[in-house]
Each structure stands twice: as structure tokens, then as C-alpha cells.
Amino acid sequence: MFEPTKQPTIFPGISRRTFLTLAGLTGLGLAMGCDEDRKAGQRALPDPLDPIARGRGPLMADRDDYAPPTTNPNEGTKPPATTEPANTYGVIPRSSWTRVGPDMKRVDAMGAVKLITFHHSGDPKPFFIDDFAGTAQHLEWVRQYHRSRNFQDIGYHFAIDRAGRVWQLRSLHYEGQHVRSNNPNNIGIVVLGNFDKQQMTNAQREKVKSFGSLVRRMYGLPIGRVLTHQEIVKTECPGDNMQPFMVQIRKQRMI
């Protein structure tokens, strides 16, 4: 539930009024099957980044993987918070899972948002943690792994956990590191789980649709600018069980 009690600094440059209006419209649009989006889509030309429209494969030949190769050895470490904070516009702030900031000497500014890319976390084995504290620990483990690879911070901007909660990861002020050579102006959203080895939860499916639609509308992007990792570079991400879902909801204009 979105709480209209403070400025949503999680989304730089977006006013509270705009956020709440879009949040309401997004919920209504999904409930009605996004009829207006369908009508708009019938009138619009295909977007050049739409993988269906462009009719070609990945843009790069090298693999692009971001999942830690092992499970978290520090499970049980207490995160900064153990319960979900209130009044965060449905997005759990970064301060709830880590006390460590990015390498400010090396981060690049995000710039104007032009693309949204969805990922799975691609853990080495199926990931079933769905409680708040366990998810916070896992996100910190991913952050540590990304830093060990000389990233400036955790690579993604948001995560959708097994319970359908949305977590703020890297600030939207900064360019992410989640698609090789395609990070500028690109919001990265990771859905927790290995969807080559397991299925998305119903809560995750619904949140991908609602949150993806909210962010897309917030930045005025056409549906063709909502892609998956494997549609941009050579990778298995987001897995065989998530990729068809993403294609379906994009085709049906449900995101």
C-alpha cells in the first residue's frame, strides 16, 4: 500500500503528486487489462528496441552474468532492520538492508531514463527465502559479491523478492551495472530466484506487472523499452521460466 506521507526520494525528480497519480492509474489500468494501453499500442509504430519488432538476437556475443557463484556464507547476520518500515511508497529503502554506500569516486550519473531491464538473480540453486530479514541478508551478500568484482555498488536499482516486496538497491541517481555495455539510462530490476530452476511466485508475477508499469509510466517509456537481460546481450537471464512471462505481459500490454 502506498503511503502519501513524504516525498518519494527513491524516485528522483518525480513529485509526490505525480507518483500517487501514476500509482493509482497503474492499479486501475492493470485491473481493467490496460485497455488504454492496448488502444495506444494499436496506433503506435513498433519501438526500435522492442525485440519482437527488431527481429534479431542479442546485440553482443559474450556472456553476461551477475549472480554470486555460491550461496551466502553469512546467513544469519542481522541486517540493519528486521521488519519492513512504513511510509515508503511500497518500496523498502536501501537503509533497511545495508549500511554501506557506493564508491562515490567512481559512480556515474544516471541521466534521463530510456530503458528498463528485468533480470532474475540466478542463484546457484533455487532460492526460497521470503522473510524480510533473510531477504535483507541475501541482498547484502549480492552487494558484497558485486563489489568484489570491482562494481561501484550492487548492480541493480530494485529487487522484487519472493513475497512480492520491492527493495531499493542502487540509487536511481546513479547508473547501474547490470547489462554489459548497456547500463547508461537503464533501470535494472532483479526478481529474486533462479528461474531456470524454479518458478516465480504469484506475488512476484503481480509485482512485476504493477511495479514495472508504474516505473514505465513514471518515465514516459513505451512498452518496447521494457526488456529482459537476454534480449540485450547473450545470457540465460532471466531464465526459461521468466522469459516467456515477460514476453506475454509485454505483448498483452500488462506492464
Q: In this structure, what are the phi and psi dihedrals at residue 23, rounded to the nearest 5 degrees?
A: -60, -40
SS3 label, residue 26: helix
Report CA 76 to chain centroid distance, whole Å: 25
| Residues written for the chain | 255
Kindly report the number of other CB atoms within 10 A of residue 79's CB atom. Answer: 18
Which amino acid is located at 170 in the chain? R
CATH hierarchy code of domain 16-251: 3.40.80.10
Contact 190, 178 (CB under 8 A): yes
SS (H, E, C) 7-47: CCCCCCCCCHHHHHHHHHHHHHHHHCCCHHHHHHHHHCCCC
pLDDT, residue 135, reads 95
Q: Is 254 helix (H, G, I), strand (E, B) or coil?
A: coil
Task: Please report, for the chain, the start and end positions of each structural domain, with discontinuous segments joined by +.
Answer: 16-251
Report d(CA 234, CA 127) in Å as an integer. 23
Q: Is the dihedral of CA 151, 91, 50, 66 positive or negative?
A: positive
Residue 224, classed as helix, strand or coil, is: helix
**pLDDT tens series, the chain, 255 aa:** 333 334 347 888 777 777 777 766 655 444 333 444 444 443 333 444 444 344 334 443 345 678 777 766 665 556 676 666 655 568 999 999 999 999 999 999 999 999 999 999 999 999 999 999 999 999 999 999 999 999 999 999 999 999 999 999 999 999 999 999 999 999 999 999 999 999 999 999 999 999 999 999 999 999 999 999 999 999 999 999 999 999 999 999 999
C-alpha–C-alpha distance, residues 28 and 80, integer Å: 35
Q: Count Cβ neighbours within 10 Å for each residue of 29-55 and write b for 16 or more, e otherwise.
A: bbeeebeebeeebeeeeebebbbeeee
Q: CA-to-CA distance for 111 and 93, rounded, in angstroms?
A: 21
